[in-house]
Amino acid sequence: MAEDYSDFISEFIKEDLASGRYSSVLTRFPPEPNGWLHVGHCKACYVDFSMAEKFGGKCNLRFDDTNPEKEDISYVEAIKRDLKWLGYDWEEREYYASDYYEYLYELAVKIIKKGHAYIDDLSDEEIREYRGTAVADKNNITDTPPGRNSPYRERSIEENLELFGRMRAGAFADGAKTLRAKIDMAHPNLLMRDPVMYRIRRDYHYRTQNAWCIYPMYDFAHPLSDAKEGISHSLCSLEYEIHRPLYDWFIREAEVFPSRQIEFARLNLTHTVLSKRYLLKLVQEKYVSGWDDPRMPTIAGLRRRGYTATALRTFVDKIGIAKTDSTVDIAFLEYCLRQDLNKTSPRVMTVLNPLKLIIENWEAGKVEELEAINNPEDERAGTRTVVFSRELWIEQDDFAVAPPPKYFRLFPGNSVRLRYGYIVTCTGFDTDPQTKAVTAVRCTYDPATRGGNAPDNRIVKSTIHWLSAAHAIHIEVRHYDYLFKADKPMETAPGATFLDNLNPHSLELIPDAYAEPCLAKAVSGDRYQFERLGYFVRDLDCGVDGRPVFNKTLGLRDTWAKEQKKAGV
């Protein structure tokens, strides 16, 4: 397949290779191990890995772990597992910013020695106040008056070196001092107003443990970690654009490999929150069962929901790489998944809301095996047998005592085909004497119509699914709806939070559904199309009496394709 170089990142890389700025391409995917990967990261790693691959380069996996209070080894493990599942291979190139602490410290010393960094005694709050506040426009460029220099800004290089050494040695309390870059307190970009490079924090780090009590800030650590690895193109999401002058400043001051930062648009999805901070809140406050709850936009949640790695990669490929942020309709993600599932999922029959169907002219105790097609989209999937008998389960809504207009399923006097079986004609129904609810539907079958061999005069308008009551197994089904009702859950009314947008009906349990016996063998992660109902996946949980649990992945109806058609696309 011819490579497409039309996106702007490829353009930059091509220029950089042509000009000799870099001789080869090395990118990195830099997750912070403070949460599980979500579908936004899926886009980021796609961009990082695919750009490297396109230019014959490599992509490093680097854990950006400079924030001890929020990071954990369990997140590292979850991130690696999800990346592998997505199909990314970083080979042996697995790095940790925390392994660079000594190197980063040395570079900080180098910058102090140049007179371009100083130890400040101002508190966080004072630093903020001296920096000045701004009514920022979208580029964070302001016309606010310049900030004020810290009274400690003119400390001598010797004093700064000595104090920095003592900071590292633990001579000062947390927050008592910081190391700041000496740039420009009048800079129009607030981030350039003497940003903090190191802070004192006595926190246990999951890798360096208690070896350090000072930790580098992201804006200092990230460019220099890129440089340490010889990253040519440091691809990141758009919110880092205003950090780029600082990225370049640290590279220049530290005199290290000149990595280049290029930003691309973040992925936003309707009905979804894509920020680890908020996802963590949902987990911690138990709005969901965990990071892998099937309603979560995490890779693990989507996997448990029944998403395939192919669908996720196709999705991020199709939405492309843009320079401005936008929100993608979640129906498009579902469309990509449906395309894949339609090709790959075996079909089975299940009944979620059972109603008994009694075939009056079928001998009690007689069973017959019918042939069912496993996947009409894939001949190699073959066929299986389904057992037909006198008493069947059908869906409650496939029968109506008094049919509404255009209702072609079962009602007294009407005929339907039972999928893979016979045409049956409804002869009546039984009711509970007290509640008057329908307890069973009665019908007769036509032996000449077996497996689709209907004589011409027996064409019926509807085919319904069914199960032999004596052979069906019990399953539990979990139906999911969007976790957030609102299109854009982060847009809230004054005084409200994103939690107010949670959908109270995002999970519906169906503990007593029925399925073909073959589903007893399904293992966690096996995906199926339940005929006429949608796509489902075997969950890792078991329900009452050990019955297998199936999560609804999504319905059969394709709202995306329909809307595209309506719009004439």
CB of 536 to ligand ATP, least distance (A): 28
- Concatenated DSSP letters for 369-414? EEEEES-TT-GGG-EEEEEE-SEEEEEGGGB-SSPPTT--SB-TT-
Residue 216 interacting with ligand ATP (CB under 6 A): no
Size of the site for ligand ATP (CB under 6 A): 16
Q: Quick count: other Cβ atoms within 10 Å of Cβ 312?
A: 24
Which part of the chain contacts ligand ATP (CB under 6 A), choosing from 28-36, 93-101, 393-401, 507-515?
A: 28-36
Distance of alpha carbon 511 from the chain centroid: 27
Which part of the chain contacts ligand ATP (CB under 6 A), choosing from 29-37, 109-117, 419-427, 479-487?
A: 29-37
CB of 454 to ligand ATP, least distance (A): 53
Instruction: Out of 236, 352, 386, 426, point to the residue binding ligand ATP (CB under 6 A).
Output: 236
Instruction: Out of 30, 195, 216, 301, point to the residue binding ligand ATP (CB under 6 A).
Output: 30
* 389 φ, ψ (degrees, to nearest 5): -150, -175
Residue 44 interacting with ligand ATP (CB under 6 A): yes
Identify residues 244-303 at the interface with ligand ATP (CB under 6 A): 266-267, 274-277
Is 60:27 a contact under the CB 8 Å cutoff? yes
Burial (Cβ within 10 Å: 0-12, 13-18, ≥19) of residue 122: middle
Which part of the chain contacts ligand ATP (CB under 6 A), choosing from 41-49, 406-414, 449-457, 541-549?
A: 41-49
Active site residue 77: no
CB of 531 to ligand ATP, least distance (A): 36
Q: Which of 131, 168, 260, 266 is catalytic?
A: 266
Q: What is the 3-state secondary structure (H, E, C) of 537-565?
A: EEEEEECHHHCEEEEEEECCCCHHHHHHH
Which part of the chain contacts ligand ATP (CB under 6 A), choosing from 38-46, 122-130, 465-473, 517-525?
A: 38-46
Q: Give the span between the Cα atoms of 158 and 19, in whole angstroms.
A: 41
Q: What does the block give as tokens for 416?
A: 């339907």
Active site residue 485: no
| 198 CB-near residues (< 8 Å, 6+ apart) | 108, 164, 167, 178, 179, 214, 215, 216, 217, 220
Active site residue 32: yes
Instruction: Out of 9, 16, 31, 355, point to the residue binding ligand ATP (CB under 6 A).
Output: 31
Q: Give the span between the Cα atoms of 152 and 171, in whole angstroms.
A: 18
Identify residues 59-88 at the interface with ligand ATP (CB under 6 A): 64
| Best CA proximity match to 216, nearest among 151, 261, 164, 157 | 164
* 201 φ, ψ (degrees, to nearest 5): -155, 115
Q: Which residue is nearest to ligand ATP (CB)?
A: 40
Q: Which is nearer to ligand ATP, 261 or 374 (CB)?
A: 261
Which part of the chain contacts ligand ATP (CB under 6 A), choosing from 16-24, 40-48, 116-124, 159-167?
A: 40-48
Residue 163 interacting with ligand ATP (CB under 6 A): no
| Best CA proximity match to 36, nearest among 10, 65, 75 | 75
Residue 26 interacting with ligand ATP (CB under 6 A): no
Identify residues 111-150 at the interface with ligand ATP (CB under 6 A): none
Q: Which is nearer to ligand ATP, 381 or 499 (CB)?
A: 499
Residue 237 interacting with ligand ATP (CB under 6 A): yes
CB of 241 to ligand ATP, least distance (A): 11
Is 362:333 a contact under the CB 8 Å cutoff? no
Alpha-carbon torsion angle 111, 117, 123, 128, nearest 10: -110
Q: Which is nearer to ligand ATP, 81 or 148 (CB)?
A: 81
First to last CA, the chain: 25
Residue 32 interacting with ligand ATP (CB under 6 A): yes
What residues are annotated to the active site? Answer: 32, 266, 276
Residues that bind ligand ATP (CB under 6 A): 30-32, 40-41, 43-44, 64, 236-237, 266-267, 274-277
